Amino acid sequence: MRALVIDDSRAMRRIVGSILEDFGYEVRPAGDGREALDVLEEGYLPDLACVDWNMPVMDGLQFVSAVRSNPAYRSVALMMVTTESETSQIVRALAAGAHEYMIKPFTADAMRDKLALLGLLPQEVSL
Amino acid sequence: MTLTATSFDWVRQLVHKESAIVLQPGKEYLVEARLLPMAQQRGLTGVSELVESVRNRPDAATTRRIVEALTTNETSWFRDGDPFTALTGTVLPSLVAGRRPEERLNIWSAACSSGQEPYTIAMLVSDALPDAARRVSITATDLSREMVERTRAGRFSQLEVNRGLPASMLVRHFTRAGNEWEISPTLRRMVTTTECNLAAPLPRMGPFDVVYLRNVLIYFDMATKQGILRRVRQLMRPDGWLFLGAAETTLGVDDNWERVVLGRGSAYRPRKGN
Amino acid sequence: MSDLLSSPAQQPITEMLDAATVQSIADDVWTSLVGDGEVLVPLPVPAPEVTVSAWVQITGRWCGAVVVTCDEATAVALTECLLRARPPAVIEQEDVDDALGELANVLGGNVKSLLPELSSLGLPQTGPIPPASRPEDLCRVDAQWRGQSLTITVQGATPAPHTERNEVPQ
């Protein structure tokens, strides 16, 4: 399983990345939406992208829209991982094409639950 | 730090036995932080006093709360998804087909904790049946008054709604109330709450078409397990469905149940002729 | 930038949230982000002389910032906690700024959700001197973490221009 972790905070990239690695993922970090699109364009196709919302250069919502408008990336599950927590914002992200939405702060258990919802929790992991 | 080495060791062994989770030495602070509220609630001065009281007078309910406090932060929505997949995939369609339209379907969440299970059921049935609010009644019970009150309030913290609740359901069925999320009034009206001790004679309720009795039996001895299963069966319709926790079974405990495989999980039905 | 900041008639923050709400947001952030069993104790201790701050700006019907302030050693300890699963060999200043900034960001986003809709959140900033605040538009939590002072403020923006005298810590 491969995941792209997109956040402008390196601490958050490490936190999300290490949780996913504990669930058996290979993780590629990216500091904003543009950088993440570059990773996709060079041919790295992850099973999952965890995307922050507020980032410089290209924000998470723009990234989600860009990915969903390209049929080549249809297999990538998109999960917003953000501190934006109003109902209207969650609705916007889902409408743009996000499959799931995690509100910061969150625990490793919450990440496991979300992966299970997306059908992306490797079977051998059951803590 | 009031936690003694003996108390810590007892808690470690308990948690390991019940959940297979290992609390490493050095996690004393965690035990202290998680159990102190429970100790204080019982008017005890510290966690060691709590442990001493349970060791001197074994008590399955308190033991269960201790394990829960140390093994989960928050109860998940759709916890162990299979019993919920089975509800919408098999159980509801078969009940709807077998009952007259004016007959109510009664579902019992028998250890409802802070309310995630009964409201998960409410969300699922309201998505599956157009007239769910009129047709389905959910009874949510718990031993703890605090848990019953939390369920009745139907309010959940940010951390709680992060635990396995699909985002699409969050925005459809909850509204923000300060920094918490509140279940919609329609769903809350489907759920009736009351205190109930499963290990004692049960109040007049039911008869139930579906019972969720998950992660309760594991904490009791054989005789109590048998008593609980007998009393639950008396409150069920003959063609009802019982869901237990993933690590629980009626096999070898009570022969009056028939195990039915549903998808990746299983349910239990009262055996005919009893 | 200053045009976006508050008009004098802005509804004070204390009419929209109280210190207990900010504390409960911080409680969730501490247990999940800083570490299981880590608590921000809501008892003030004397503030250190030299502090660092991280903040995010909120722009909308209410304009202001959410600011986290502590001393340098506490900021480093918080960074170590955040990065506990995969600690870098050496924690650099950039790591500390980033981690404290992310704490402010997560607190800020949750505070924003309690304000009138359509507010927006800026990117985190860090520095020795936080934006100036006004006592009449301020919600403040004076707390301690591991015995050291840590302050969270939700503060309305001051009318621009930003002047030198604002930079003297109060």
Contact C33 A56 (CB under 8 A): no
Q: Measured between CB atoms, does B29 come within 8 Å of chain C?
A: yes
Burial class (CB in 10 A: 0-12, 13-18, 19+), B136: buried
SS (H, E, C) C47-59: CCCCCEEEEEEEE
In chain A, which residue ranges form alpha helices assigned H by DSSP? 10-22, 33-41, 60-68, 87-96, 108-117
H or E element in which residue A2 lies = strand A2-6
Q: Is residue A43 part of a domain?
A: yes
Chains in contact with C, where contact means 3 or more Cβ–Cβ distances below 8 Å, are: A, B
Going from the C-alpha of B79 to that of each of A112, B129, C105, the distances in angstroms are 11, 22, 30
Contact B167 A100 (CB under 8 A): yes
Task: Report the top-level CATH class of C2-161.
Answer: alpha beta
Domain that holds residue B45: 5-71
Residues 6+ away with beta carbon under 8 Å from A83: A53, A54, A103, A104, A105, C105, C106, C108, C109, C110, C121
Asked whether residue B166 falls in the same domain as residue B86, the answer is yes
Query: In this structure, what CATH number is given to the domain that contains residue A99?
Result: 3.40.50.2300
Furthest C-alpha separation in chain C: 50
Taking only the tens of pLDDT, chain B with its 274 residues reads 468 899 999 998 888 777 666 777 777 877 887 888 888 888 898 899 999 999 988 888 888 888 878 765 567 888 777 899 999 999 999 999 999 988 999 999 999 989 999 999 999 999 999 999 999 999 999 988 888 999 999 999 999 999 999 999 999 999 999 889 999 999 999 999 999 989 889 999 989 999 999 988 877 888 989 999 999 999 999 999 999 998 889 999 999 999 999 988 999 999 986 5
Q: How far apart are the first and last CA of chain B?
A: 55
Furthest C-alpha separation in chain A: 38
Residue C120 pLDDT: 94
- Domain termination residue (choose one: B48, B71, B94): B71
Taking CB atoms and an 8 Å cutoff, what residues of chain A touch C31?
Answer: 107
Residue A123 pLDDT: 60
Nearest CB neighbour to A85, from listed C102, C110, C123:
C110
**In angstroms, rounded to a whole number, what is the distance separating the alpha carbons of residues B175 and A87?**
7
Going from the C-alpha of B128 to that of each of A116, A118, B1, B94, C73, the distances in angstroms are 22, 21, 51, 13, 55
Taking CB atoms and an 8 Å cutoff, what residues of chain A touch B73?
Answer: 107, 109
Tokens of A53: 């919302």
Q: Is residue B76 part of a domain?
A: no
Q: Is residue B131 part of a domain?
A: yes
Asked whether residue B28 falls in the same domain as residue B90, the answer is no
Torsion of CA C35, C37, C38, C43, to 10 degrees: 160
Q: Which residue has the higher pLDDT, B43 or A47?
A: A47
Query: In this structure, what CATH number is given to the domain that contains residue B21?
Result: 1.10.155.10
Cβ(C151)–Cβ(C141) under 8 Å? yes
Give me the DSSP letters along C116-169: SSS-EE---EEESSPPP--GGGEEEEEEEETTEEEEEEEEEPPPSSP-GGGGS-
B/e letters for B19-58, b = 16+ CB within 10 Å, e = fewer, are: beeebeeebbebbbbbbbebbeeeebebbbebbbebeeee
Residue corresponding to tokens 């495989």: B261
Q: Measured between CB atoms, does A106 come within 8 Å of chain C?
A: yes
**Rg from Cα positions in chain C:** 15
Cβ(A83)–Cβ(A106) under 8 Å? no
Query: In this structure, what CATH number is given to the domain that contains residue B180?
Result: 3.40.50.150
Q: A26-30 and A2-6: which strand pairing?
A: parallel
- φ/ψ of A104, rounded to 5, equals -80, 140
pLDDT tens profile C49-70: 999 999 999 999 999 999 999 9
- φ/ψ of A75, rounded to 5, equals -80, -5
Asked whether residue B147 falls in the same domain as residue B237, the answer is yes
Average pLDDT taken over every residue of chain A: 94
pLDDT band at residue C160 under the 50/70/90 scheme: low
Cβ(A44)–Cβ(A28) under 8 Å? yes
Asked whether residue B20 falls in the same domain as residue B101, the answer is no
Tokens of B180: 């918490």
- In a mutational test of the A interface, the residue from B123, B171, B179 whose CB has the highest number of chain A CBs within 10 Å is B171
Out of B58-67, C28-37, C111-120, C129-138, pick the least confident. Answer: B58-67
Residue C168 pLDDT: 44
SS (H, E, C) B177-239: ECCEEEECHHHHHHEEEEECCCCCCCCCCCCEEEEEECCCHHHCCHHHHHHHHHHHHHCEEEE
Asked whether residue B141 falls in the same domain as residue B263, the answer is yes
Q: Which amino acid is at B112?
A: C
Q: Is residue A124 part of a domain?
A: no
Taking CB atoms and an 8 Å cutoff, what residues of chain C touch B181?
Answer: none
Residue C4 pLDDT: 52
Contact B162 A85 (CB under 8 A): no
Domain that holds residue A55: 2-117
Asked if residue C8 has pLDDT above 60, the reply is no
Q: Which amino acid is at B87?
A: L
Q: Measured between CB atoms, does B251 come within 8 Å of chain C?
A: no
Chain C residues at the B interface, defined by Cβ less than 8 Å, are 21, 24-25, 28, 31-32, 36-37, 39, 110, 113-114
Cβ(A22)–Cβ(C94) under 8 Å? no
Asked whether residue B34 falls in the same domain as residue B133, the answer is no
Provide the domain count of chain A: 1
H or E element in which residue B83 lies = helix B82-86
Residue A9 pLDDT: 96
Taking CB atoms and an 8 Å cutoff, what residues of chain C touch B157?
Answer: 28
Q: Is residue B203 part of a domain?
A: yes
Q: How far apart are the first and last CA of chain C?
A: 24
Domain boundaries, chain C: 2-161
- Domain termination residue (choose one: B50, B71, B92): B71
Residue C89 pLDDT: 87
ipTM above 0.90, yes or no: yes
**In angstroms, rounded to a whole number, what is the distance separating the alpha carbons of residues B109 and B232?**
12
Nearest CB neighbour to A11, from listed C29, C32, C102:
C102
pLDDT tens profile B32-42: 878 888 888 88
Q: Measured between CB atoms, does C156 come within 8 Å of chain A?
A: no
Q: B136-142 and B105-109: which strand pairing?
A: parallel
Q: Map residue A32 onto helix, strand or coil.
A: coil
Q: A77-82 and A48-51: which strand pairing?
A: parallel
Taking CB atoms and an 8 Å cutoff, what residues of chain C touch A82?
Answer: 109
Tell me how far the alpha carbon of residue B260 is from its chain's centroid: 21
Q: Is residue B262 part of a domain?
A: yes
**In angstroms, rounded to a whole number, what is the distance separating the alpha carbons of residues A84 and A91?**
11
H or E element in which residue B138 lies = strand B136-142
Q: Measured between CB atoms, does B176 come within 8 Å of chain A?
A: yes
Provide the domain count of chain B: 2
Nearest CB neighbour to B178, from listed C32, C39, C114:
C114
